[in-house]
């Protein structure tokens, strides 16, 4: 019954959109009211039989005692669970399509210094992987570059849009540096020297540029790579430091702190659990790559990766759970919540687990005023499910991105399913 009501309203809405009427309608306020669901705001306790008012793509009100605007489109969501969209904290969605077909892959630039790269310009808004992610409740993502020692700027993006420009939520979300593992016990490591030299050059270049602007001295020769490092050196953009083994993580943090960086986010494997106390003390957040990883060392416990989130939480580290961020995991970015689910089986409390894929990534990425919870003033990017969203058995039934109902039946997987199911049933 509810579904019928909903689909009729969607039909009316799309009919309006299809005609010129939509223009005048959306020129005034576009208001959607989701009524009757159990709302899980994440930042606050869950609310039964709640009302969510969405105006022009943003959440205007949430609660049980909410006045419904007269011109609102009301959707009955009784019996559903409403959650904020998952915020994927590190992925290469949009930069790769079919990993074995090199013409479709733009994930890793050649060379050591790629500071001047901005990933958002290569995000294919029509990638088939994006609707698949959305159908899994992953509605926004931090898209990261993958090539070289200094890799460039990442961006937080909506996963739905007509052009990449409209999808950008936060450009320059971070400058990515891969700490060379060989530098752990080698002060003369060549790769680290390259990084150090580049950062020194960048500091000098920016000093010279400032001097030129304020004193009229000759400007330094244009250099895109050095210029791009400016926001990170000024502390305006976080240093996103990649390291995979705990000793490399420690060395990377020593190095970064020696360099004077204060705005640091560690992008790390489950091995990060071994340096949790330091991270808590230094207040460094973590993007945790892949709970679904084999133990780093053969002799380690079978569950050593599964317990990493719980260990971080116990130590008081703020973290966001990611997948492997690359390769096969890009097409399966939709499986992000299950990694957090498995962490629950291995000691993480369920509320922290869900935060680690919604509110915490938003906070770590500096987009928590817009994403990560169902709260007044945030983007209305949310989904409805028939169960707990960290459970693989749960089905996602509705999605809204910036207040717009997303047509899940058009997602390739679902469309093929319907097409072949009908054929099968007609036989």
Partner 1 sequence: MRHLLTLILSCGLIVTAHAAEWTPDIEAWNSPEPPQPEAVVIRNVTVWPATEGDIIENADVLFRRGKIVAIGVDLDAPRGAIEIDGTDHHITPGIVDNHSHAAIIGGVNEASRISTADVRIRDVVDSESINIYRQLAGGVTTINLLHGSANAIGGQMATIKMRWGASPEELIFEGARPGIKFALGENPKQSNWRPAEPRYPQTRPGVEQVIREKFQTAADYQKAKESMPTGRAARNRIPPRPDHEMEAIVEIINGQLDVHSHGYRADEALALMRAAESFGFRIKTLQHILEGYKIAPQMAEHGAGGSTFIDWWNFKAEATDAIGYNPALMHEAGVLTALHSDNPELARRMNLDAAKAVRYGGVDPHEALKMITAYSADQIGAGDQIGRIAEGYDADLVLWDGHPLSAFSKVTQTWVDGRLYFDREADQRMQEALEAERAELMAMVLNQGEDDAGATETDTDPADSPATAKRQTFNFARHLTGYRPSELDHDEYCVFHAN
How far apart (Å, rounded) are the C-alpha atoms in residues 301 and 382? 37
DSSP secondary structure string for all residues of 25-67: HHHS--EEEEEEEEE--SSS--EEEEEEEEETTEEEEEESS-P
**252 vs 367 by CB, closer to partner 1:** 252
Helix or strand run (H / E) with residue 394: none
User: How far is CA 394 from each of CA 384, 390, 405, rounded to the nearest angstrom?
Assistant: 10, 8, 20
**Interaction of residue 101 with partner 1, rule CB under 8 A:** yes
Q: Count CB neighbours of 218 within 10 A.
A: 8
**Interaction of residue 20 with partner 1, rule CB under 8 A:** no
Q: How far apart are the first and last CA of the chain?
A: 29
Binding partner 1 (rule: CB under 8 A), the pick from 27, 222, 328, 377 is: 328
- Say if CB 154 and CB 117 are below 8 A apart: no
Binding partner 1 (rule: CB under 8 A), the pick from 171, 231, 366, 413 is: 413
- Say if CB 93 and CB 333 are below 8 A apart: yes
String of contacts with partner 1 for each residue 242-271, x by CB under 8 A: --xx-----------------------x-x
- Say if CB 376 and CB 60 are below 8 A apart: yes
Q: Count CB neighbours of 353 within 10 A.
A: 23
| Least distance between partner 1 and beta carbon 402 (Å) | 25
**Interaction of residue 329 with partner 1, rule CB under 8 A:** yes
**135 vs 155 by CB, closer to partner 1:** 135
- Strand partners for 96: 93, 105
**Interaction of residue 346 with partner 1, rule CB under 8 A:** yes
Question: Which residues have a Cβ under 8 Å from the Cβ of 71 and sit 6 or more positions away?
Answer: 28, 29, 31
**42 vs 209 by CB, closer to partner 1:** 42
**Interaction of residue 44 with partner 1, rule CB under 8 A:** no
Q: Give 271's DSSP letter.
A: G
Cα 180–Cα 155–Cα 166 angle in degrees, nearest 5: 160
Stretch that binds partner 1, among 89-97, 148-156, 195-203, 214-222 (CB under 8 A): 89-97
# binding residues, partner 1 (CB under 8 A):
61
Q: What is the dihedral of CA 152, 294, 336, 98, to 10 degrees?
A: 60
Helix (H, G, I), strand (E, B) or coil at 99: coil
| Least distance between partner 1 and beta carbon 351 (Å) | 13
**Interaction of residue 293 with partner 1, rule CB under 8 A:** yes
**Interaction of residue 211 with partner 1, rule CB under 8 A:** no
**56 vs 303 by CB, closer to partner 1:** 303
Binding partner 1 (rule: CB under 8 A), the pick from 6, 83, 164, 338 is: 338
Binding partner 1 (rule: CB under 8 A), the pick from 9, 46, 97, 109 is: 97
**Interaction of residue 25 with partner 1, rule CB under 8 A:** no
* Interacting residues with partner 1 (CB under 8 A): 92, 96-101, 105, 107-108, 128-129, 132, 146, 244-245, 269, 271, 292-299, 301-303, 324, 326-332, 334-335, 338, 341-342, 344-346, 350, 390-395, 412-414, 416-417, 420-421, 424, 427
């Amino acid at each position: 019954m509810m579904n019928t009501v909903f689909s009729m309203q969607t039909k009316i809405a799309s009919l309006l959109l299809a005609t010129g009427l939509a223009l005048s309608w959306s020129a005034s306020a576009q208001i959607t009211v989701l009524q009757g669901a159990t709302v899980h705001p994440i930042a606050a306790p869950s609310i039964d039989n709640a009302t969510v008012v969405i105006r022009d793509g943003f959440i205007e009100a949430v609660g049980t005692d909410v006045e419904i605007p007269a011109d609102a489109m009301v959707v009955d969501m009784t019996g559903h669970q409403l959650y904020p969209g998952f915020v994927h904290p590190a992925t290469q969605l949009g930069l790769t399509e079919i990993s074995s077909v090199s013409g479709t892959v733009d994930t890793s630039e050649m060379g050591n210094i790629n500071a001047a790269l901005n990933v958002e310009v290569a995000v294919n808004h029509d990638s088939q992987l994006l609707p698949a992610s959305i159908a899994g409740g992953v509605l926004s993502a931090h898209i990261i570059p993958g090539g070289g020692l200094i890799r460039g700027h990442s961006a937080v993006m909506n996963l739905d849009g007509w052009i990449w420009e409209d999808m950008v939520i936060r450009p320059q979300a971070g400058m990515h540096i891969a700490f060379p593992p060989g530098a752990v016990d080698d002060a003369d490591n060549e790769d680290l020297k390259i990084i150090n030299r580049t950062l020194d050059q960048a500091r000098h270049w920016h000093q010279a540029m400032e001097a030129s602007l304020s004193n009229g001295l000759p400007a330094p020769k244009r250099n895109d790579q050095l210029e791009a490092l400016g926001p990170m050196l000024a502390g305006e953009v976080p240093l996103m430091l990649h390291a995979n083994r705990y000793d490399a993580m420690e060395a990377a943090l020593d190095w970064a702190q020696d360099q004077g960086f204060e705005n640091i986010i560690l992008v790390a494997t489950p091995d990060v659990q071994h340096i949790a106390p330091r991270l808590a003390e230094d207040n460094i957040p973590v993007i945790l790559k892949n709970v679904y990883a084999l133990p780093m060392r053969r002799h380690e416990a079978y569950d050593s990766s599964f317990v990493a989130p719980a260990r971080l939480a116990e130590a008081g580290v703020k973290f966001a759970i990611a997948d492997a961020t690359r390769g096969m995991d890009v097409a399966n970015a939709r499986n992000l919540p299950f990694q957090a689910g498995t962490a629950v089986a291995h000691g993480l409390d369920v509320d922290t687990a869900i935060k680690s894929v919604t509110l915490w990534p938003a906070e770590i990425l500096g987009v928590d005023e817009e994403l990560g919870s169902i709260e007044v003033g945030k983007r209305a990017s949310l989904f409805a499910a028939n169960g707990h969203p960290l459970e693989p058995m749960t089905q996602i039934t509705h999605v809204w991105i910036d207040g717009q109902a997303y047509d899940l039946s058009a997602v390739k997987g679902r469309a093929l399913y319907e097409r072949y199911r009908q054929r099968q049933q007609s036989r």
